[in-house]
Structure 1
Amino acid sequence: MNAAARQNPVFRFAPSPNGPLHLGHALSALLNADMARGAGGRLLLRMEDIDLTRCTPEFEISALGDLEWLGLDFEQPVRRQSEHFPLYRKALDRLTALGLTYPAFMTRGEVRAFVRSEEEAGRSWPRDPDGAPLYPPLDKALSASERRERLETADRHAIRLDMEKALSLLGKPLTFVETGSGKVETLAADPAAWGDVVLWRSDAPSSYHLSVTIDDAKQGVTHVVRGRDLFHATAVHRLLQTLLDLPEPVYHHHRLLTDAQGRKLSKSDGDTGLAELRAAGASPADIRAMVGL
């Protein structure tokens, strides 16, 4: 564990305001607050609102009300990713200058069709830790003139990281420090498992991977406490930190709350929100008990 993490610990809770907060968010927020308090550290709040379609001021106001009701006190001001797109673009331009990005034009439907044709021909296709097929290499193989032509004619495109080239710049294997098991462990990071990840899309001027990595460094975050569902994404974040000469935080991936069927709680699935529990008479102490703290 680095000296900054020991001497000046900084924690952050970073929800996306695209729906009501639920018990899973409460667990993460409360755990961040408990760990920050125990370490004598700072606690920050960040709104990860790069999705300008689904994230709304109404959901942010609702989230702030829920967090205040839980008794959580975050440093001000709240950081909103939607206010920092130029910062993420600067990082993207740096990666592009290193020759590590390329424009990608295939739609999700085209990727599915390509993978289906490969598998029907008896060739297995790799998938990332979330189960999605890795992006095909067709766009990466385009010539400079072909790319220019596609950029002039395509309705929209993304910018992806050339994972093979990025990994070739590393002088040693990537690792990260993890404390989620209750002990300090140094674990191997395998960003190659994700293939050529998206860094920028036409409908969102950054990606989760890029913006969260830049924000954690910009805010001086030393301890990233988040759900186990993001454990494997840490490999991509460690790669970006290394390529962009950013500091490495300590990671703590906590247990996930699930429903009766073992499914992770989700805003998109309409799982019971904190506001609904609050309206039904639950107290902040009840919420702590419900999430096992």
Structure 2
Amino acid sequence: MYTYSRAALDAHCLLQVYQVIVEILLGIGLDLDEVVNEVTTGKTGYLFRMKRAFTEHNNESSTSVPAKGNIAKVPVVSANLAGTISTKFICDRMLYGLSKELRKLGIDCMEIIKDNLSHYVNIAKRENRYVLTRDTRYDLFLKILPQTQCLLIPNDTSVEQVLNIIRLLDIKIYENNLFTRCLHCNSNEFILALRHELQVMCYGQALDDVKELSAGNVSPYERTFNLLNVNQDVLKSKTTYRGKPIKLNRINSHILRSKEHFYICDNCGICTWDGAHSLHDSVMDLILYKNCETDTAAGF
């Protein structure tokens, strides 16, 4: 009994440590999944070296397929774009964590990655985007853009920053908006890949029988992103329609067994799935509260 209690206490302590690490990383604009991925599968990591050895062994007995940048896209006809959120942002690079949290909600949020501010100012004017910044950078943008288009972001956590923005601009977010943008590049165009198709890309063959996609809480076809289907060129070349290598290193065997479908960003090749990322409880509570207000006002 003592051994079990000790083990339970150790597990509890590890969970507490995990939560603290997550909060610290989010506070400085880093995602724990990406940090772990870089450590384990980066070019200096053990798993990368093992994967490279395995790939080189397979390449000796197979012909590699060159990547194609102009593959004809196969759209999912029933994709729903009607409820896309219209509010758009440009986020200063010092607010990296905020841009990721906004993208989780399906909000179009560009990042400032170059020093040429005039380029982003022109985009903000042309596309009517709010500029999110802080400190002295706010004054720089304020000299060029209307004050109503520049938002000075306080030095809070990224979660608090998102909550304040949603309240200030009264942004309506629904379940079919969530996780419809790539957290890495902001694209909303994804390739929908079923489990057996990912198995072909990872292992060279399908390990499970081909199954139709079952409906979850929100069907992929009901979400507000642009979906594409996998074709044979994508399977063979392991590249997206835009010619980007599909990044399969996050898909371990457990994920591949437990998930029915995956989303591959057509713009950057990042592969994700339902449950790969989560929203803070306070953000979800605010979304649900605002939706209840909307339904009540409409008489539902």
TM-score range, shorter chain: under 0.3
- Indicate the structure with greater helix content: 2
Taking structure 2 as the reference length, what is the TM-score of the superposition? 0.24
Taking structure 1 as the reference length, what is the TM-score of the superposition? 0.25
